[in-house]
């Protein structure tokens, strides 16, 4: 009897192992056991040991109550700058989020990306107390930031519920397909779902090709989709050079000044208006961002907002504004709130290709 039980257990174990390996094979990223985004260049043994009582000596920082990046950019960016400065001075940081009344997936994405980037965390610990507000707390928990009272941002888990998040260096069509499939209820037509898919691919492509500047190193992109009861929020960000800085490096500061681009506002506007050529110098490159504006003008994506360097622009309304602070990298946000499920006949095919397997 014992033997049979062991044999069954063995079969169950080997099934589990097979499924695990299959999942790994269908993913487009390299399998890296014990990989840490916080310390990508260090082996497991070399990583700083986490002290159990680090929160007691950590510097406590309080973010703005309206902790929404695309609505309250200056205060949120300044808060993260303060976090980075504290890390640079050799301190751990404890986020006091108790009084936060509004929190959306975009800020959580920024929080997770920055605290898992060695250039920002300076190998220090980050964590904190979760918000008291139930809605904000739900966003936090569904983002995979776990822990009952104290969370640890360097050890996040997979998202669940209404949020999906992914990060990679390469363009991932599977992720884009997975995100639009998740938000299918808010597109009402395939043209709109395709517009969001295309936007995701273009942004991943831009990060992959340009965000690292002229160096060979690639920048990591982070993206998430958050399905609220009435709309889906798409967020995309990287911690690279930013759109304006990339253009300035390509064209040259002197030429830009001669052309009248004294500030980034006009430069960004012209990039979205398809008046500035890509960094690669090829005339057929660099159409991704103008096409995003084109899709926004056609109403296929809504409330499209970009924050990069010292500019915030609402592509949908055409409002561009210089910020009082500098954002390192590029952040994109857009929404889809078209009532009705998009008839996506390819969902069936996607399922057979394994796209929805882990939704």
- Enumerate binding residues for another protein (CB under 8 A): 28, 170-174, 176-177, 180, 190-191, 193-198, 201-202, 204-205, 208-209, 274, 277, 283-284, 287-288, 291, 345-346, 349-350, 353, 355
Closest separation between CB of residue 324 and another protein, Å? 34
The Cα 304–Cα 264 span in angstroms is 18
The Cα 253–Cα 356 span in angstroms is 46
CB 222, CB 113: distance < 8 Å? yes
The Cα 37–Cα 48 span in angstroms is 13
Total Cβ atoms within 10 A of residue 25: 9
CB 232, CB 329: distance < 8 Å? no
Closest separation between CB of residue 349 and another protein, Å? 5
Pairing mode, strands 93-96 and 126-129: parallel
Closest separation between CB of residue 4 and another protein, Å? 44
Terminal CA-CA length for the chain: 39
Closest to another protein by CB, 167 or 310: 167
Which phi and psi angles does 272 have, rounded to 5°?
-70, -25
The Cα 170–Cα 256 span in angstroms is 31
Closest separation between CB of residue 332 and another protein, Å? 15
Closest to another protein by CB, 38 or 306: 306
Closest to another protein by CB, 114 or 210: 210
Closest separation between CB of residue 318 and another protein, Å? 21
Closest to another protein by CB, 54 or 197: 197
Closest to another protein by CB, 29 or 337: 29
Closest separation between CB of residue 193 and another protein, Å? 8
What's 209's DSSP letter? I
Which phi and psi angles does 126 have, rounded to 5°?
-135, 135
Closest separation between CB of residue 256 and another protein, Å? 17
Inter-CA distances, 188 with 200, 342, 346, Å? 19, 4, 15
DSSP 28-44: SSPP-TT--SSSTTS-T
Closest to another protein by CB, 137 or 356: 356
Which phi and psi angles does 153 have, rounded to 5°?
-75, -15
Closest separation between CB of residue 310 and another protein, Å? 27
Which phi and psi angles does 50 have, rounded to 5°?
-80, 125
The Cα 216–Cα 227 span in angstroms is 36
Closest separation between CB of residue 91 and another protein, Å? 38
Closest to another protein by CB, 90 or 345: 345
Element (H, E) at 246: helix 243-251
Burial of 204 (0-12, 13-18, 19+ CB in 10 A): buried
Closest separation between CB of residue 33 and another protein, Å? 22
């Amino acid at each position: 009897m014992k033997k049979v039980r062991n044999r069954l257990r063995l079969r169950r174990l080997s099934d589990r192992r097979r499924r695990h390996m299959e999942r790994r094979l269908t993913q487009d990223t390299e399998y890296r056991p014990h990989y840490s985004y916080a310390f990508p260049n260090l082996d497991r043994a070399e990583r700083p040991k986490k002290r159990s009582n680090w929160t007691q000596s950590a510097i406590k920082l309080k973010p703005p109550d309206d902790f929404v990046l695309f609505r309250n950019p200056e205060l949120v960016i300044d808060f993260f700058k303060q976090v980075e400065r504290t890390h640079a001075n050799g301190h751990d940081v404890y986020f006091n989020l108790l009084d936060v009344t509004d929190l959306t997936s975009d800020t959580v994405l920024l929080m997770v990306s920055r605290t898992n980037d060695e250039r920002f965390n300076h190998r220090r610990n980050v964590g904190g107390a979760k918000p008291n507000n139930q809605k904000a707390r739900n966003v936090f928990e569904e983002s995979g930031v776990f822990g009952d009272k104290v969370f640890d941002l360097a050890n996040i888990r997979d998202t669940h519920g209404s949020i999906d998040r992914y990060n990679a260096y390469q363009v991932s069509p599977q992720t884009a397909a997975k995100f639009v499939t998740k938000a299918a209820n808010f597109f009402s037509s395939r043209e709109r779902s395709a517009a969001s898919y295309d936007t995701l691919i273009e942004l991943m492509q831009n990060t992959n090709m340009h965000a690292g500047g002229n160096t060979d190193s690639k920048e990591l992109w982070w993206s998430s989709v958050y399905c609220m009861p009435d709309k889906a929020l798409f967020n995309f960000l990287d911690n690279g050079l930013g759109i304006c800085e990339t253009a300035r490096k390509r064209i040259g500061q002197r030429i830009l000044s001669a052309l009248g681009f004294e500030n980034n506002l006009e430069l960004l506007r012209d990039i979205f208006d398809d008046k500035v050529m890509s960094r690669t110098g090829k005339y057929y490159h660099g159409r991704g961002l103008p096409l995003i504006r084109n899709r926004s003008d056609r109403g296929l994506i809504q409330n499209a907002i970009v924050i990069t360097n010292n500019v915030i622009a609402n592509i949908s309304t055409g409002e561009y504004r210089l910020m009082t602070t500098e954002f390192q990298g590029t952040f994109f946000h857009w929404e889809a709130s078209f009532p009705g499920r998009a008839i996506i006949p390819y969902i069936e095919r996607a399922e057979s290709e394994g796209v929805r397997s882990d939704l």
